[in-house]
Structure 1
Amino acid sequence: MGEMQGRELELEVTNVAHGGISVARHDGRVVFVSDAIPGERVRARITEDSKKSFWRAETVAVLEPSPHRREHVWAAAGPGRDPRDRAGGAEFGHIEIGHQRELKRQVITDALSRFGGITRDVVVEALPGEPDGTGWRTRVRLHVDEDGGIGPYAARSHRVIRVADLPLATPGVREVAPLGDRFPGEQTVDVLEPSVGGARLIIGTQKPLTITERVGEREFTLDDGGFWQVHRAAATTLTDAVQHAIDDALFDPRAHNLDLYGGVGLLAAAVGDRFGSATRITTVESDAAATEHAGRNLVEWVGASAVTARVERWITALAGSAGEGERERMRAGTVILDPPRAGAGAVVVEAIAALQPAQLVYVACDPVALARDIGLFRERGYEVDDLRAFDLFPNTHHVEAVTRLVRA
């Protein structure tokens, strides 16, 4: 423990950083402060001083509040609790919802400038739902403590916090969440509400069951523990966004089109629905159960196929072995990619760029990872042609972006 850890300082908070934290300075040193808003003066407790370049701190009192501060939407995560006992998962809940989107806009534009080398503004678009940003989570993971009680983890910790409510969750999830029950011997309790069939629990590692999610008129099957967008309007929003992001003039349904990190086929289906049943598209996903579902979900498109493989290995092998005919189909192709939070990374970017597809539609849940990958694509001859952002995670710092890149 450093000599500053546990000490309290008065800090002037100046701006927002990636990760849902704000930035202040103390004697020239950067201090990352949680539960604060740029423009505020706060008293904060130092929680980490081991880094020479910065410290971390938690707000314990707001001395001069921002006009954008509001009563926290979740008392269990709010300033009425000691920072160590605040539930995680609602780190922007004390900020007025419109200003949350403004801060997310700042994070995106700063990341694009610093890591992507581009200056571009963006509007963070709201999704349908409650005006205070509650009631949207269709999936909540609760953890079991040593006494069998359940709750979310504390912010920035793996300590279970028992709570009385889950305001970010949908009404159906809130109704069945067994917050007062005990589950000795288990590790997790997942509560989910698919768009078809009602809310349910997954206790521990019980055998997966198949559920159905509906997007417009289309239905998708998947395992109940499998990945699906969490916001109740997210799948529809991203389907529409990806369909609009594809440049018609650059799309060839007979080309070798790809959907990388494709899950159960949501975005491949978005492409097929827009361009017709003969559209050729290969969706690639490392999770075998998801790929099996994707094959069924995409069965009506004669040119669709689902491959189980790690994307970096599969795309690198394709780039290394494709003959001239395959390369020609790839150069006419469109690549959809929706990588995990860490981004696609240099290996995947290098392989995609080597195949020279006509356009890329990149769906990203982390602005810094997106910006880094954009920088890598720009070094290889691609430029951002369109970028939109969506508030898929209200009352948290997370934000989704959909970007089109084309050969310069």
Structure 2
Amino acid sequence: MTEPTPLAVGDEIELDITGIAHGGVTVARHEGRVVFVADAIPGERVRARVTEVRKKSFARAATVSVIEESADRRPHIWAEAALSRNPEHRVGGAEFGHIALTRQRALKAEVLADALRRFGGLTDAEIAVVAGGSLEVEAVPGDDEANGLGYRTRVRLHVDPETGLVGPYASRSRQVIRVRSLPLAAESIELSAPLSEAMPDVVTVDLIAPSADDSRMLVTLPGEKKRAGENDRVAESVGGREFLVRAGGFWQVHREAPLTLFTAVRDAIHQLVDEGRFDTSAANLDLYGGAGLLAAAMAEAAGPTLKVTTVESDPGATDDAAENLQELVGGLAVTARVDRHLADLVKGAPTVRQRLRRATVVLDPPRSGAGGGVVAQLGELAPANIVYVACDPVALARDTATLRELGYRLASLRAFDLFPHTHHFESLAVFHRV
């Protein structure tokens, strides 16, 4: 067998792009070796510069020119990320910015389906059934009209320690890139961003644009762990309902994401109610609950008699959740790590365990997913339904495989394009105990 020609960082090679991979990169092969290529589109032939070589396993490369162009290629929405710049000087955070929005969503759907096949153990037929016919990543209101721009209500910028330059990081590095604009940011953030200023005594700059409050700038000073003003409360409006959240706390970044996920979870709970699968008096849970957004969605669907405990490790967010859910008589906000709270429930009294078996659990874990430990605990508690909000398709797929092994059936699946011009998206999966 002929050994492939050795590759070295800096080599330029021509590649036929054959597919999309998780993480916002495309896939090609060079003499049998897999190459993950940035800034390309499946179906294109490109010239790419090698940026990393992992012995014989794979290499990474960045497109420097397009030989055969896809019909879905567009001028990049961010000039500082365009092919005209050297790969190491391209800003990160908009890795799909050169692709038409409809194709972006199709690629994301491919990534989700591939993850469910490879890591979740589902067949194409099973995926089609749970997706209601065909798996799609749904657009949210306003994005097509705005070409997916101006949606971010939270932006973090970094400060170059040597120059004081303020800007985002380059793709796959911690080099601060000077930019003239933030095309994905909300207008108030775009106007207030200190892109032309030097801030030598600052480490990070967080800009937030709450939907029902004034915009804020939070700065981290050298040697400090907390950002000035991060515990100030700001108001967010979601479908006419107001939520108070910490300025530096977690909140969905897309202007339409809170309402999109609120509505999706509410509708999923409505469906469970209609099917007779939801018990308002059970020990229902909202895990990784943040400021109580999804617990409120449960309450809107299930009614005022709902009993639900929202669990969150951040004390500030728990305080916010307690206030946001104060009208819900059966609501309780608990500060705890999810795994530790579930461990206590596993050891609970038989009456508690029975209420849990009748329960519905909503969870919105971090990008790494709930993980085997938490999913195993859920399997031991055996709630009737699990409504899983996921921001990483591979993590969702792995947890799906575990849940299926523990006796759950994936009943429905939706996905939402809450991060246009990036490879990220959100999914909502509903599981029933068999």
- How high is the TM-score relative to the length of structure 1? 0.98
1:260 to 275, 282, 287: 287
Which letter does structure 1 place at the counterpart of 2:228? Answer: Q
Aligned to 2:132: none
Counterpart CA distance in 1 for 2:411 and 2:7 is: 50
Q: Give the conservation status (yes or no) of the 8 Å contact 2:89–2:177.
A: yes
1:207 to 229, 233, 254: 229
1:163 to 169, 179, 194: 179
Counterpart CA distance in 2 for 1:278 and 1:222 is: 25
Aligned to 1:384: 410
Counterpart CA distance in 2 for 1:327 and 1:313 is: 16
Aligned to 2:47: 43
Q: Report the Cα offset of residue 149 of structure 1.
A: 1.3
Counterpart CA distance in 1 for 2:292 and 2:199 is: 34
Counterpart CA distance in 1 for 2:101 and 2:425 is: 13
Q: Give the conservation status (yes or no) of the 8 Å contact 2:286–2:310.
A: yes
Any residues of structure 2 matched to 1:20-39 within 5 Å, and which?
20-39=24-43
Counterpart CA distance in 1 for 2:300 and 2:27 is: 45
Aligned to 2:241: 218
Counterpart CA distance in 2 for 1:252 and 1:11 is: 55
Counterpart CA distance in 2 for 1:364 and 1:50 is: 30
Q: Give the conservation status (yes or no) of the 8 Å contact 1:104–1:397.
A: yes
Q: Give the conservation status (yes or no) of the 8 Å contact 2:267–2:301.
A: no
1:310-362 alpha-carbon deviations (Å, 9 max, x no partner): 1112112211x122211111111000000000000111001011111110000
Counterpart CA distance in 2 for 1:279 and 1:318 is: 19
Q: Report the Cα offset of residue 200 of structure 1.
A: 2.0
Aligned to 2:98: 94
Aligned to 1:4: 8
Any residues of structure 2 matched to 1:319-358 within 5 Å, and which?
319=346, 321-358=347-384
Q: Give the share of equivalent positions with the same residue, in percent.
A: 55
Counterpart CA distance in 2 for 1:313 and 1:68 is: 47
Any residues of structure 2 matched to 1:49-88 within 5 Å, and which?
49-88=53-92
Which letter does structure 2 place at the counterpart of 1:142? Answer: L
Q: Would the alpha carbon gap of residues 104 and 3 (structure 1) be closer, same or farther in structure 2, given more than 3 Å must change?
A: closer
Counterpart CA distance in 1 for 2:365 and 2:295 is: 14
Q: Give the conservation status (yes or no) of the 8 Å contact 2:229–2:247.
A: no
Q: Give the conservation status (yes or no) of the 8 Å contact 2:229–2:248.
A: no
Matched, 1:195 2:195: no
1:361-402 alpha-carbon deviations (Å, 9 max, x no partner): 000000000000000000000011000000000000001000
Aligned to 1:238: 261
Q: Give the conservation status (yes or no) of the 8 Å contact 1:196–1:212.
A: yes
Counterpart CA distance in 1 for 2:201 and 2:207 is: 18
Where does structure 2 lack aligned partners over 5 or more consecutive residues? 1-5, 129-134, 221-226
Which letter does structure 2 place at the counterpart of 1:382? Answer: Y
Aligned to 2:170: 154
Q: Give the conservation status (yes or no) of the 8 Å contact 1:129–1:135.
A: no
CA RMSD of aligned residues (A): 1.1
Count of aligned pairs between the two proteins? 406
Q: Give the conservation status (yes or no) of the 8 Å contact 1:42–1:62.
A: yes
Q: Give the conservation status (yes or no) of the 8 Å contact 2:262–2:293.
A: yes
Which letter does structure 2 place at the counterpart of 1:103? Answer: L
Counterpart CA distance in 2 for 1:25 and 1:255 is: 53
Q: Report the Cα offset of residue 176 of structure 1.
A: 1.2
2:301 to 274, 280, 297: 274
Q: Report the Cα offset of residue 148 of structure 1.
A: 1.1
Counterpart CA distance in 1 for 2:7 and 2:419 is: 37
For residue 150 of structure 2, give the secondary structure of its aligned residue in structure 1: coil
1:203-240 alpha-carbon deviations (Å, 9 max, x no partner): 22213211011101211111101100000000000000
Which letter does structure 2 place at the counterpart of 1:376? Answer: T
Q: Report the Cα offset of residue 3 of structure 1.
A: 5.5
Q: Report the Cα offset of residue 160 of structure 1.
A: 0.3
Counterpart CA distance in 2 for 1:282 and 1:243 is: 16
Aligned to 2:142: 129
Any residues of structure 2 matched to 1:291-370 within 5 Å, and which?
291-319=318-346, 321-370=347-396
Q: Report the Cα offset of residue 50 of structure 1.
A: 2.4
Aligned to 1:404: 430
Counterpart CA distance in 1 for 2:304 and 2:80 is: 49
Counterpart CA distance in 2 for 1:142 and 1:101 is: 27
Where does structure 1 lack aligned partners over 5 or more consecutive residues? none
